[in-house]
Structures are given as C-alpha cells and as structure tokens.
Amino acid sequence: MGRLNQFQGEELGIERFDIQLVKLAGLLHDVGHGPFSHVFENEFLPRVLPHDSRWAHESMSQMMVEHIVDEHNIDIDQEHLKKIKDMIVASSHLALPSENHEKRFLYDIVANGRNGIDVDNRFDYIDRDCRACGISNSFYFPRLMENMRVIDNEICYRAKENRNVYDLFQTRANLFRTVYTHAKVKALEYMLVDAFVLANEYLKISDLIFEPQDFWMLDDSILKTIETSDKEELAEARKIVIRMRRRELYQYCNEYAVPKEKLEHFKTVRPEDIACAQVKSGVHLSPDDIIVSNVKIDLTRGKEDPVQRVHFFKDYESDEKFIIPKDRISHLLPDCFEDRIVRIYSKRPELVDAVSEAFENFQLRTYGIKTQVHGTPNGKKRRSQQKVSAEAQYARSL
C-alpha cells in the first residue's frame, strides 16, 4: 500500500482514509476465526452442524467488526465501515461483484479474489513460517512489492518478476506439504476435533458461533476447560486430550499420492471404504477405528495455473497489462498444479497392521496397483527389532 501511495497515490486518488481502511481490514480480517483457526471451521463444524449449514469465518469477522464498533461506541463513518467489511470478504463467496467497488484495487490487498496474491494468504505467513521451520524460501516479497503498479484498477507486477510470482505459490504449497499437513500435525488435529465433538453436547460449543456476543468467548482455552474438568459428561473428551498431552497420538499408517491420470475423477475416500477392503480374518475393523485424511495441495486455484490470472507490465513507461503464457517463462514449470494425498490413521495402536493392510487392498481395488512408497510404522519397527535380534543372536554365537 505504501509503495502504491508513494508512486501512484495522486494518480489513483488514494486518500489518507483509504490507507486507514486497508490497515483496519488487515488487522481485523481474521477476528472471526474460532478456536484453533481453520481446524474449527473445516473439521469440527461440519461434524456438528446440519449439512446444509454454511458457516464462514469471513462472515463472522464482519459481524465481529460491527459488534466491536457497537460495543465500544466507536465513531466511524458507516460507509467506511462497509468498505472495511467488504475488504475482509473480498476473496470469499461473500464478495460483492467487482464493479460495485470504487478503487477496486484496494480490495485486492488484504484478500485477493482475482489471483490470490495478498497479504492475508501469502505475505503474512510465508516468510515467518519458513524461518520458524527452517524451510527454504525462494520467494522474496519485498522485491515483488517494489515492482508493482495499478493498471486498469488492478495491481499488476513487472514482467521480470514472473518467476518470483511462481516461487510465491510454490513456497506456499511446500509449507502446506511439509508443515500444515504434516502427518503428526493432522493426527493432533483429528484428536482435537474428536475431543470437541465429544464435549459439544455438554459445553454447547456449536451454539456459540452464530452471535458475536457469544462467539468472542470461544478461544483456545476450551481445550484446558476439557482437560481440567471433573464432569462425567466430559470424561471421554478428557481422555483424548490427555492422550494428546502424552503424545499417544492416533497412529499414522500410510499414505499414497493419487495418480495424475486419476485426479480428474477423484472421489473422497471414507473410513468405510478402508474397512470394507479388509480381508484378513481375526481382526474386526470398524469405520470408527479409522481416520482418512484427504489432503489437497495446490497453488491456490486447484488444477489451474494461478499465474495465468496475474497481470504483468513491461516497464514503468508502459500502461499495458498482459498475462505471460507459462511456456514463455520456463519449460521446467509444472504441467499439473494439484496433488491429492490420501492418508490413513488408526485410532487404536493395536490395529495399525490391520488398517495398513486394508489400505493396501483398497489401493489395489481402486487403481490396480499399490501407489504408496512408505513402509508402515509397525512394519519398520518389526524390521528394526528383527535386525537387533539377529545381531544379538550373531553376537552370542561368537
């Protein structure tokens, strides 16, 4: 925003209150998140709300902004308040048609529905999380911000930054693959959701999500409430939280990447699908014993190349914006922009082998081959134990 104001502020009619509104939208855009953020919205709520209920944190953020203004008697122009709320939902299904906005480019800064390059979904966490997790980051956001300008009411980027833009999306995808959807991270998330579901009837968690005066009381402390309660109604939820504290996690069994040629017709895999693939007798698998994680990793637009929605310009003497075809950038760029990973967990450690075998059978039935490349955790453990036993036996024979 500072870069645009410095070099094009007068030309674009950027005023002081425009900068203030963008800053407020950036500050407040996520106040509608529930406890533990996206896990609450994407994993917990679908299990406890009617299937036709559509709850979105962006909508709650709008309601929370109104609540804060009313509760604290904040003197703010209603038109300015409306712009802040519109900026918050600019990339969601709640967004107004773009032609309804004056200075349309302002609505692409916090949450960009055009191409996904914004401070919310990209700049805010990529640099921070890469540094914190020791992950290589080839994307350099200051350079991108130094090489942008508004053309035809849209933020565009200098053509020489095309690889930097690809690096932005690739780095984001790498973070999702190695950090946000890490096998142990997801195991903890599924345990958290199970605990919340078990506690919901007593704590009425899902009853608090509709009105901002109730919603603001929901925060991460709910986990401690479950853990420290002596109520019988929370006993089962408490057992799961204690398991989480002790790192007695749901056991990761295995995973496979959906073959590229099968992506188009991929159907979500369910626990029932795995349980029904069991052929080994002596162990009964119930869908309740199994968790299936259907992980989708893309560059923000599913199977589409997101850079084909980004407009570039040649230099600062030019007022023409254009899209750069992928083959004009590099022949080393991907042809596919989406991965689907199916990952399986067992809630009970003693069932890992049975779940793993059923998972292999499911792959053979579905694809005719086993697409996984990892050994099962228990299989690795057994091989390690066998190796140690063999070495010990050899040592005794000397």
Catalytic residues, by residue number, are 57
Query: For the CA atoms of the chain, what is the radius of gyration?
Result: 25
DSSP 347: S
Q: Angle, nearest 10°, between helix axes 183-203 and 235-245?
A: 160
Closest-CA residue to 3 (of 143, 120, 148): 148
The span from the CA of 148 to the CA of 125, in Å, is 20
Residue 264 — left, alpha, or beta (φ > 0 → left; ψ -120 to 50 → alpha)?
alpha
Q: How far is CA 381 from CA 352, 384, 386, 388, in A?
A: 12, 5, 9, 11
Contacts of 53 (CB under 8 A, 6+ apart): 45
Integer Cα distance of 290 and 287 in angstroms: 5
Tokens of 345: 């967990």
Contact 190, 291 (CB under 8 A): yes
Helices 78-88, 16-28: inter-axial angle, 10-degree rounding: 50
